[in-house]
């Protein structure tokens, strides 16, 4: 890689992203950190202190004093990697260019939780997208994109972890190309193909047993481990964390009926059964597995 030591950068996101940019030789002037308890924070503080540079924990990017500080660095590039809030226009304008990496194949799944919606929709693959940062959330032109298969049976947490490495690699790649003075084509997003990925509501996490089994299982994986997909039973709310298809379902059951069998607890869906593997009461942090799940559904028949 050509030397990038003279290329001034403002960074916003997780500590590991700033550490990667420093490792690549970039001149990170200010690192604004979205989650100060994340891995790498102590190491980042030490490295930035050695350089006489600043680390700010979750700064208010609309604060005039913070904006003056950022503008004073006269940065060539603002880089965002898992900055969890919208960056206001005044902050974006503090550098000549600004880009971020989003964990979906934009324009699909714009918003804070693309993991939930990609799994809930039954997608077979997703990806990461480097895009120009604009005042409109996740709508800037595409700079680079990489498709990533969604691991079979993964939940939202698993998918987030699966996209960490490719998104970090793409952030480093694009930052390096800017630092070397390369001309990166900017491809406008097709808004007609856009879909939104807001944080899931309670309604989004409620299981509908009239759905086919695969749709129920997709929703369980999408909401796991937090906030968790849930179903009602008597006056209780039961959060279901893991489940699998079950072929041996009593024919007399209606969608939503719950029974205990020698295999475990089964709930009838539209076209078959869902065998519960792990679940908990809404108000409890600890979960139960296997046959113990029957304790969450007192009074269910054993068939």
pLDDT in tens, 189-226: 999 999 999 999 999 999 999 999 999 999 999 999 99
In angstroms, how far apart are the furthest CA atoms of the chain? 72
pLDDT in tens, 67-116: 999 999 999 999 999 998 899 999 999 999 999 999 999 999 999 999 99
CA distance 50 to 185: 36
| Sequence-distant (≥ 6) Cβ neighbours of residue 101 within 8 angstroms | 80, 81, 128, 129, 130, 131, 167, 168, 170, 171, 174
pLDDT for 6: 65
Going by pLDDT thresholds of 50, 70 and 90, the confidence category of residue 1 is: very low
Q: Which domains does the chain have, with CATH numbers?
A: 8-193 (3.40.50.170), 202-296 (3.10.25.10)
Q: The pTM is what?
A: 0.92
- Three-state DSSP at 58 gives coil
Q: What is the mean pLDDT of residues 36-54?
A: 96
- Three-state DSSP at 22 gives helix
CA distance 299 to 281: 16
pLDDT in tens, 115-139: 999 999 999 999 999 999 999 999 9
Instruction: Report percent pLDDT > 90 for the chain.
Output: 92
């Amino acid at each position: 890689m050509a030397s990038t030591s003279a290329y001034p950068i403002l960074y916003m996101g997780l500590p590991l992203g700033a550490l990667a940019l420093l490792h690549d030789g970039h001149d990170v002037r200010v690192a604004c950190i979205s989650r100060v308890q994340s891995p790498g924070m102590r190491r980042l503080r030490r490295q930035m202190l050695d350089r006489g540079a600043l680390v700010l924990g979750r700064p208010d990017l609309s604060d005039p004093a913070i904006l003056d500080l950022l503008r004073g660095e006269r940065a060539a590039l603002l880089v965002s990697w898992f900055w969890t809030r919208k960056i206001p226009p005044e902050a974006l304008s503090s550098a000549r260019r600004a880009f971020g990496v989003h964990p979906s194949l934009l324009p699909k799944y714009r918003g804070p939780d693309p993991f939930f919606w990609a799994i809930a929709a039954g997608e077979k693959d997703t990806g990461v997208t480097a895009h120009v940062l604009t005042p409109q959330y996740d709508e800037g032109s595409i700079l680079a994109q990489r498709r990533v298969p969604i691991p079979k049976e993964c939940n939202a947490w698993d998918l987030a972890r699966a996209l960490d490495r490719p998104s970090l690699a793409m952030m480093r790649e694009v930052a390096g190309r800017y630092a070397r003075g390369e001309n990166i084509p900017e491809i406008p997003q097709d808004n007609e193909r856009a879909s939104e990925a807001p944080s899931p509501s309670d309604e989004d996490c409620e299981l509908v047993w009239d759905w086919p089994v695969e749709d129920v299982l997709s929703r369980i994986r999408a909401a796991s481990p937090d906030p968790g997909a849930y179903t009602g039973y008597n006056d209780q709310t039961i959060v279901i964390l893991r489940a699998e298809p079950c072929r041996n379902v009593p024919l007399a059951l209606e969608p939503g009926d719950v029974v205990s069998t020698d295999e475990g607890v089964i709930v009838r869906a539209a076209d078959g059964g869902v065998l519960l593997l792990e679940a908990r009461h809404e108000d409890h942090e600890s979960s139960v597995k296997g046959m113990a799940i029957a304790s969450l559904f007192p009074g269910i028949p054993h068939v």
